Chain A
């Protein structure tokens, strides 16, 4: 009896510990607080982050990125081959997979899901707005059903990044029956094959997803996910602190500091593949001189900017893309913060100090620029310390993008998220002469440097990675000398959650399935 009591006492004492040691448990509801509601859960039509992060819980692709890297692995396709001419991609599909509505997953489903996007004659084509074609199936000209479980995609030209496109969120496979039934409302009732299935959507409030008990792979650990829209960052923080939500997205840097200080809560950080920059319009006569642009770089104290406004959740940038991407040129010496030197450079260049520069501030915050207006206010003060007068200009986001791509600004803030983690995405896409044509220039510095562009084009045609690295290292040196942008920061992406959750994943692009996440009872 006594022994039993001791045993009992020990067991009781150890119970909390054993709960910790015990592996994943099944059940519970994961409440996920975020800044806004989703718009369209048919990911082939989704344009906003809130739709995408909800949609990837329910819909699956042929292929997907690995859990916490950007390597492509099978999902609904078991394997794939590319023909010798590089034009035909053949996918062997997984067997025995069922959609949430009980329909079988097969080649026809892949055909319908893809053909509706690219074939204007497909019956489902009229039911949607197919955006970002260049990032998804745009290069595909034909889809062939080889047999029930084999599909072939034929491209117009050899197009190596197709696999990465298919792994993005833009090419999900949906149930053909559901697409026919819901027509243009499929985005409000997504039916896929994922570990969670759609249950209910209260607009502007919450989306409820249930665990899919018939999932083909590892079944989800939690029974239910509720995605809750909480527009105010401070409200989301409070909901996380009080335990009302398990995960809170998009907290501002000051709130994240409070989360870190709370021992009930946890923060995961990952270097992201983004850059926030200040583009200098090189077409404006008063900004044409590279000395002026280098002076602006010298005037800005990136370290303090990051320590204060980013609350340390970023690394200062010196190149157009972050150190996590290959061929990053670490030999480059950043322009040191030195207002006196900046002033001297400006005087040498004969800069007209009576001119007031327009400093365009983004009206929306992004992971690469969490506090755009405050950043602009700080930059304005730094410029003033170097004798440069500036005026902050704000407008709505649509107009901002249109006008900056038209080169109407002096200085503008923007950023980029390199989805496929390739230097080409940043260097050619944002800085080459080819992309500096107005209107619609992605190179908003309108910087047309022949040598830089030549290096980028040469790298595109080169298949040897070492050779490409050499070319990109050189390109970054030219960028540094010419400084068409002042690269400001590469921000850290963050996930804040309650410690009662376990196995919380975070990819560099912030999109993850939560199927392996489990919650303490």
Chain B
């Protein structure tokens, strides 16, 4: 399948197209942020606090009188960054561990996979809470924590693809021809693992954004006055009775971005790897 065909397939897959459109829109907002924000997202105006949506403040103001629309726009950059960086953090070691475990098998496999099992023995959010608490709560550490939590998932997926590849003739053939392990891994095994990794990473960005927002919601994520969506939502919880808009908009933004990643990831899966469709 040529590159153009793949792209064409992707665009004709409505799910992928819709996902891409959502992500692109949020990306534009994130990049152009400061140009779009009607107010300074960090500037308090305490005497105009908790105002409902109006023409001056379409999303209303928060408990310090800051413009929520501007803060939601400011938070877009943070959330996208969280998605990309945390996935990178889980992807790289996860892939490496999966490759090693699957390729070498035996005790290496057992050692790696039992360690992964141990990480998986924790509910994800709890493990993330734990790691953030150890590292001290802030945005960087949130990304690290969410990244670490999902390492086992990538390791498992990559290991599974390596195992199925190992059965295939061409890898065995290369092995018999005397190729070095590193060469075989990088030249022959890794490239064939890439489609499932891409699919999983796209879906993983959505999960990462959700987890990071949950940490922010529990007060362990980005620190004030940063307009991180989860933290904004957490503040809104206190005002659910008198000012529900404070929680409503950042939450809707999280939902939209995660939905974008999931739509795109679903579409990507259909195109890149039809065999994964049932997962």
Contacts and interface: CB of A to CB of B under 8 A. Distances in A.
Classify A-B as touching or not with yes or no (CB < 8 A).
yes
A415 B46 CA distance: 22
A385 to B, nearest CB: 10
A374 B242 CA distance: 18
Contacts of B50: 254
B224 A376 contact: yes
Contacts of A232: 237
A405 to B, nearest CB: 19
Given A381-B44, A395-B136, A374 B63 contact: yes
A233 interface: yes
B64 interface: yes
Interface string B99-125: 000000000000000000000000000
Contacts of B136: 395
Interface stretch (A192-200, A219-227, A300-308, A449-457): A300-308
Nearest to A257: B242
A234 B238 contact: yes
Given A237-B241, A254-B239, A374-B63, A304 B47 contact: yes
Given A380-B225, A392-B225, A394-B137, A308 B46 contact: yes
B160 to A, nearest CB: 40
A195 B201 CA distance: 64
A170 interface: no
A258 interface: yes
Interface in B29-72: 42-44, 46-47, 49-50, 63-65
A455 B133 CA distance: 44
B64 A374 contact: yes
A377 B241 CA distance: 23
A338 interface: no
Contacts of A517: none
A378 B46 contact: yes
Contact of B238 (A233, A304, A376, A396): A233
Contacts of A304: 46-47
B192 interface: no
Contacts of A376: 224
B223 A394 contact: yes
B223 A234 contact: no
Contacts of A377: 44, 64, 224-225
B240 interface: yes
A392 B224 contact: yes
B242 A258 contact: yes
A316 B29 CA distance: 42
A238 B241 contact: yes
Contacts of A378: 44, 46, 64
A252 interface: yes
The CB with the most chain A CB atoms within 10 A, among B42, B43, B224, is that of: B224
B47 A307 contact: yes
A373 interface: yes
How big is the B interface, by class? 20 to 34
Interface in B232-259: 237-242
Interface in B142-179: none
Given A304-B47, A308-B46, A234 B240 contact: yes
Nearest to A308: B46
Interface in A343-398: 361, 363, 371, 373-374, 376-378, 380-381, 392-396
Nearest to A395: B136
Interface string A221-255: 00000000000111001100000000000001011
A237 B219 CA distance: 22
B47 to A, nearest CB: 6
Contacts of B237: 232, 234
A233 B240 CA distance: 11
A35 to B, nearest CB: 13
A309 interface: yes
Contacts of B42: 381
A309 B241 CA distance: 17
B224 A373 contact: yes
Nearest to B137: A394
A494 B240 CA distance: 22
B47 A392 contact: no
Contacts of A308: 46-47, 49, 64-65
A394 B43 CA distance: 20
A307 B46 contact: yes
Contacts of B133: 396
A255 B224 CA distance: 23
Contacts of B239: 234, 254
A254 B242 contact: yes
Contacts of A381: 42-44, 225
B238 A305 contact: no
A392 B138 CA distance: 11
Contacts of B43: 381
A387 to B, nearest CB: 15
Contacts of B47: 304, 307-308
The CB with the most chain A CB atoms within 10 A, among B44, B49, B242, is that of: B44
A357 to B, nearest CB: 15
Contacts of A238: 241
Contacts of B225: 377, 380-381, 392
A350 B239 CA distance: 43
A483 B138 CA distance: 31
Contacts of A373: 224
Given A252-B238, A374-B63, A309 B224 contact: no
A371 B224 CA distance: 13
B46 A305 contact: yes
Contacts of A371: 63
Contacts of A234: 237-241
6 contacts: A233-B238, A308-B64, A309-B46, A309-B63, A377-B224, A394-B224
Interface of B: 42-44, 46-47, 49-50, 63-65, 133, 136-137, 219, 223-225, 237-242
Top 8 nearest A-B pairs (CB, nearest first) are A308-B46, A377-B225, A381-B44, A377-B224, A304-B46, A373-B224, A392-B224, A378-B44
